């Protein structure tokens, strides 16, 4: 018997033993998505970046000089070469077979039964139920500081009330008359942090959790002045259907970016593979230069913007929440500046480029509030050490995004933070502490500007 044959028999026995030890898959588990790689390709021009999106590649939110990063499987390398790129493997996504979540997700899944607030996956990341239980607990423990708001339903819930999720936000402030009311004429200025609109950018939801805890834990001390003067709104999971799929990967989260609206895309992979995924990219779905840069009409593409602007329940709901919290303070033309008296600021958090971005994303042209937005972003960078600029200047152009919409539609100072997540697309849970420590000063700084950001 050859050494190779001996080895293959040993390997087969080991695989069988592993299956026996692992036991049957819980019903919540879904098919393995296969080995994934992150490829590094040169794409220094706008045209080269757009060609990647047009060809349906999963372009990650990261750039190193002239290079972009593409997620895919083994076949993706050949497709990149066919498209004229020279891919190099930058990272092999950790594999090793499906493992059950750290704690159980649903009643019929494996793992110890825990209270919803203690549900985690992949070494500590919080499930949707845990995030929502956390909001409720903070509100119950601090009725003078916290109010939970249900601002809509996820796509799946709109289709079937027995599935999907509510969409939830928390308002944090030292409560006085009129605070946290769903009207733009409320007395205090407002700052809103939204995380995990891209479900697989799992560090960001954890930062929201820690930010909430930090604000209430220090309400008698370092955060007292901010909570007295300002409403801090946090939406920890903008895309709960997507996160539900991510967390079903357990210790190897499924890399779902979009929501789970499969209408018109029923043939797209679910869970995602290296060749696409179901759903609509909620950060391309907003009605601001919709369907332009960094989108693809391929329904399985990670940047599919939907059939129409604002087509998705999650998009309409978060935009509806914004309209209730912030007055429209900017004229309708792209060249209309928001006035110096504008109130309100927001940050949408993504991963993993290590960047502080500001509008416009749809074009390299500057917004009429460019000087102030750039000045704020520069100060953000002095706090977290990231690069700053418009998306087209340091990452790639992107249209129909949350921050282009909130700035464009309402005039509020709007930013995207691409957290660095230890330079990893799929970071260990321990990395979230690093990202939080770096970005807490930034969140507090921008929240503190809410009264008059353009006078900063």
Residues at the site binding Zn ion, with contacts judged by CB under 5 A: 61, 198, 201, 350
Considering the complex, state which of residue 61 and residue 231 has its C-beta at the smaller distance from Zn ion.
61
Q: How far is the CB of 91 from Zn ion (least distance, A)?
A: 17
At closest approach, how far in Å is the CB of 360 from Zn ion?
17
Nearest distance, CB of residue 170 and Zn ion, angstroms: 22
Query: Nearer to Zn ion by C-beta: 61 or 435?
Result: 61
Taking the CA atoms of 282, 288, 293 and 297 in sequence, report the sign of the dihedral they define.
positive
Pairing of strands 355-357, 387-389: parallel
Contact 274, 36 (CB under 8 A): yes
Strands 58-64 and 67-72: antiparallel
Nearer to Zn ion, 342 or 401 (CB): 401
* Closest CA relative to residue 148, chosen from 159, 135, 161: 135
Quote the least distance from Cβ 61 to Zn ion, whole Å: 5
C-beta closer to Zn ion: residue 153 or 302: 302
61 vs 409, beta carbon nearer Zn ion: 61
Strand order in 355-357's β-sheet? 146-153, 166-172, 231-235, 190-195, 345-351, 413-419, 355-357, 387-389
Tokens of 216: 């209430």
CB 212 within 8 A of CB 66: no
Question: Which residue lies nearer to Zn ion by CB, 98 or 304?
Answer: 304
Distance CA 336, CA 333 (A): 5
Q: Compute the least distance from the CB of residue 201 to Zn ion, in Å.
A: 5
* Dist CA 232 CA 441 (whole Å): 14
Nearest by Cα to 200 from 307, 113, 279 = 279
Tell me how far, at minimum, the Cβ of 65 lies from Zn ion, in Å. 21
């Amino acid at each position: 018997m050859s050494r190779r044959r001996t080895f293959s028999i040993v390997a087969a026995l080991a695989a069988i033993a592993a299956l026996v030890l692992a036991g049957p898959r819980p019903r919540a588990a879904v098919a393995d998505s296969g080995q994934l790689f992150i490829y590094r390709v040169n794409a220094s021009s706008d045209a080269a970046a757009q060609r990647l999106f047009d060809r349906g590649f999963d372009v990650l939110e990261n750039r190193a000089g002239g290079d972009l990063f593409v997620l895919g499987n083994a076949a993706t390398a050949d497709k990149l070469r066919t498209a004229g790129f020279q891919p190099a493997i930058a990272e092999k996504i950790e594999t090793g077979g499906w493992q059950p979540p750290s704690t159980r997700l649903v009643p019929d899944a494996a793992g110890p039964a825990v209270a919803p607030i203690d549900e985690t996956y992949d070494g500590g990341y919080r499930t949707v139920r845990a995030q929502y239980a956390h909001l409720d607990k903070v509100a119950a423990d601090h009725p003078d500081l916290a109010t939970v708001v249900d601002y809509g339903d996820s796509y799946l819930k709109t289709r079937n009330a027995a599935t999907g999720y509510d969409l939830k936000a928390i308002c944090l402030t030292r409560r006085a008359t009129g605070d946290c009311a769903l009207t733009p004429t409320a007395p205090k200025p407002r700052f809103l942090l939204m995380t995990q609109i891209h479900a697989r950018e799992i560090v960001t939801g954890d930062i929201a959790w820690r930010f909430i805890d930090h604000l209430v834990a220090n309400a008698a001390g370092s955060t007292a002045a901010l909570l007295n003067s300002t409403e801090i709104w946090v939406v920890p999971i903008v895309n709960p259907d997507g996160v539900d799929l991510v967390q079903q990967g357990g210790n190897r989260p499924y890399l779902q970016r979009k929501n789970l609206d499969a209408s018109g895309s029923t043939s797209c992979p679910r869970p995602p593979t290296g060749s696409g995924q179901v759903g609509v990219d909620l950060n391309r779905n907003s009605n601001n230069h919709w369907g332009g840069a960094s989108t693809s009409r391929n329904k399985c593409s990670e940047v599919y913007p939907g059939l129409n602007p604002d087509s998705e329940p999650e998009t309409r709901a978060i935009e509806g929440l914004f309209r209730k919290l912030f007055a429209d303070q900017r004229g309708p033309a792209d060249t209309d500046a928001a006035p110096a008296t504008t109130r309100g600021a927001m940050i949408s958090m993504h991963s993993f480029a290590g960047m502080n971005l500001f509008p416009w994303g749809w074009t390299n042209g500057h917004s009429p509030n460019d000087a102030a937005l750039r000045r704020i972003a520069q100060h953000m960078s002095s706090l977290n050490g990231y690069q700053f600029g418009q998306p087209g200047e340091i990452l790639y152009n992107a249209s129909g995004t949350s921050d282009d919409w909130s700035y464009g539609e309402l005039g509020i100072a709007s930013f995207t933070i691409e957290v660095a997540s230890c330079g990893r697309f799929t970071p260990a849970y321990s990395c979230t502490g690093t990202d939080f420590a770096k970005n807490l000063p930034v969140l507090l700084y921008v929240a503190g500007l809410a009264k008059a950001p353009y006078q900063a």
